[in-house]
Structure 1
Amino acid sequence: MVGRVFLHIGAPKTGSTYVQTVLWRNRDVLRTAGVLLPGSSLAHDQAMTDLRQVSWRDPAATWTWDRLVAETAGWSGDVIITNEGLGGATAAQAARAVESLQPAEVHIVVAGRDLWRTFPSVWQQGIRSRNIGSFSGFLDTIERGGNDAFWDHMPNRMLRRWGDLVPAAHRHLVTVPPPGSPHDLLWRRFAYVMAIPDGLCELEAPSANASLGAAEIEVLRRVNAALGDRYPHRSPYQRVVQRHLVDAVLKQRTGGLRFGVGLDRADWVLGLAEQQIEELRNYPCDVLGDLDELRPADLNPAPTPDELGTTQILDAAIETIIGMLAHAETLDQPTETLKNRVRRGLRLDR
């Protein structure tokens, strides 16, 4: 019978990629130590889309939530299930997930990051997932009290939906350290929650999930809008646009203009942060880190992508086309190299 199950459910843009990379790269070591990561990273993602019954679930997906749970059957140690999309589940879906894992001791693990950094990161991730709305429009909607989908992925709401299903001692909030902290501090906080011994896993510096500059993300937003019904969200888009435009070209551009929330909204963001911190102080859960880390600091001025001039966007678009030409050229090389190897092999056989 499974001992404990740690459900790491989000939030997005809280260092999840780094933590998950460490977990999956050390999967065999963890298994030997009695900690199981069932299935694969893809399996966790597909199980999440099944649990949440999202419209954008990949029709070719083979993993369901029940299949992932069944993968843990018979394991006598701890289990880790990790996908930041889980945090967006409804109360009923969360209840189903927790119930399906019992009688194991279920722990809910949530991460939180200050809103000043969260707003641009979440909006950018949305654009890189096929959204088309402007950054200013995104903030305007939230300021008017809309965009429940955003708030549903924030730690206070996630803990209410998921944390209320388990005892207080089994609810864990990990705060994201401020910039300049040791790169392994976030991992050490997660490892402590999941009872992974210090030094068990081999660590590397976090791989940069590079943020795009203001002009680059605006180019992508306009491409998304122009695509219409082509490459519908999510799998076809990731396979084509994410791979060949974002990863191969836009992420490779350096020195892009950083963007963020304008200082005219600073008081509003600071007010939201105080509300969030107060809610979490009053919620009984285990905190790894410090709730004060959710209070924005270093509110430096930065433009929004909406404020860019036409020339800046046009220049970025031209550079993107040039980058895609270079990328297209590299796609021809492996095939040609393979042909040459075959030809050399045939000559050697003669």
Structure 2
Amino acid sequence: MAARIILHIGVQKSGTTFLQQVLQANADALVKAGVRYPVSPDWARGKRTVANHEWASYGLLGAEFPWVSHDRASEEATSWQVLLDEVKRTPGTVLLSAEALSVIRTPAIHRLFDALGADDIEVVVTARSLGRALPSLWQQHIRNGRTVSLETYLTGLANERRKGRDHVETDRSAHLWRAFDLGGLARRWSDAGATRVSIVTTPGKPPHLLWQRFAEAIDLLALAEPPTMPTDRAHTGLTAPETLVLSSMNAAIRQASWSGRHAGWIRQAVTARFQARSQRGSKVAAPPEWRDRLAQWNEEDLAALRDTPARIVGDLEDLRYDPSAETTAPPTHEEIAQAGAEAALALATVALQETLIQRNIRRLRHRLTN
């Protein structure tokens, strides 16, 4: 039975996937250092790009996650049991990483702790400033098929936040603020019985500094320089013009009533083309009229965080958002047009390849029948 369990619970857009890449690539070195990062043999099923334990957590907590249906939870019940069995037969320290756990409510935390059954459960949160995280999260929503504008998205978050802490802590639908209100997040897990909560500040660049801070948070300084460091960038985001083009495409796809499978295929092809470009346009940033409000939210949350027992690993200034330092300009018409042209080329390339394959199949069939 694991004597110590470390839960890395995200939050989203804070380098989680990069850290999971490092953990997966160095799983053997971690074992030698006394830490087990379970990597399921079937981790690559579905659309996952790196091994983590999020889907397994669906099998235990199910509909606690607003996006998880009862059928999906039932499908993952075996994954959870396999993971739990591995945790229970592993001595020493086990490290689990699932950023979705950042949104669960207190009763679900107790259920998770009871299921894991360890006396020592530590929680590690990686985080960045709201002014950086929320625009990045919006572009991820667009990549997932949404069409809402950034202004509308932020307005919805403002309305949720205005309902207060009790609403955030109890309403299942208020999951985003349960994760991104760092003070509430740290307090929730501490009060639920975590032996230690560490907040790791995300520095942005260089990426290896984030790993070093994470290694410090889990008391693994011996692997501050891991044998294998991923060279590819995990979950490279879209730029502002690319996100606007994809949002319009999502709206057109929805109007055409295409299947989810076909819609996902189109987004994947277009996104891959976008990410291969060298000149991609301006990054996604908070609209000027929202920057002061995001900074105010940021300061409120940092003040609440300082009143918790959480340990800060890194520089607290990394979590602060300064609107005056925001120099990103809105995307130009030319940048949007270029992104639109790249999207058209992405689909044309795939269509031409498909046509070539079909032509060769017809030729082969003709030869076989003659």
Counterpart amino acid of 1:48?
S
Corresponding residue number in structure 2 for 1:342? none
Alignment pair present for 1:296 and 2:311: no
CA distances 1:185-244 after superposition (whole Å, capped 9, x unpaired)? 110111112222233543245625322122211121122223336444xxx479624532
Corresponding residue number in structure 2 for 1:45? 54
- Do the aligned partners of 1:174 and 1:288 also contact (CA within 8 Å) in 2? yes
Corresponding residue number in structure 2 for 1:280? 305
Corresponding residue number in structure 1 for 2:239? 213
2:88 is paired with a residue whose SS is coil
* Counterpart selection for 2:342 from 310, 315, 319: 319
Q: Where in structure 2 are the equivalents of 1:1-350 lying within 5 Å?
A: 1-38=1-38, 39=40, 40=43, 41=50, 44-50=53-59, 51-53=61-63, 54=65, 55-56=67-68, 59=72, 61=76, 63-146=78-161, 148-154=174-180, 155-167=182-194, 169-177=195-203, 179=204, 181-196=205-220, 197-198=222-223, 199-205=225-231, 207-228=233-254, 230-232=258-260, 236=261, 240-246=265-271, 248-253=272-277, 254-297=279-322, 299-303=325-329, 313-328=336-351
Distance in 1 separating the partners of 2:209 and 2:275: 26
CA drift at 1:128: 1.3
Distance in 2 separating the partners of 1:213 and 1:67: 39
CA drift at 1:336: 11
Counterpart amino acid of 2:233?
S
- Do the aligned partners of 1:219 and 1:313 also contact (CA within 8 Å) in 2? yes
1:184 is paired with a residue whose SS is helix
TM-score of the pair, normalised by structure 1 = 0.82
CA distances 1:106-146 after superposition (whole Å, capped 9, x unpaired)? 11111110111112111111111222211111112223345
Corresponding residue number in structure 2 for 1:347? none
| Structure 1 range deviating more: 147-156 or 5-14 | 147-156
Counterpart amino acid of 2:125?
V
TM-score of the pair, normalised by structure 2 = 0.78
In structure 1, stretches of 5+ residues that fail to align are 338-350
How has the CA–CA distance of structure 1 residues 332 and 282 changed in structure 2, closer, same or farther, with 3 Å as cutoff? farther
CA distances 1:269-327 after superposition (whole Å, capped 9, x unpaired)? 2211111110010001121013232111463243557xx65x76455323211123234
Counterpart amino acid of 1:252?
A
Distance in 1 separating the partners of 2:227 and 2:262: 34
How much is the aligned-residue C-alpha RMSD, in angstroms?
3.0
1:144 is paired with a residue whose SS is helix
2:9 is paired with a residue whose SS is strand
How has the CA–CA distance of structure 1 residues 97 and 21 changed in structure 2, closer, same or farther, with 3 Å as cutoff? same
Taking only the aligned residue pairs, the percentage that are identical comes to 27
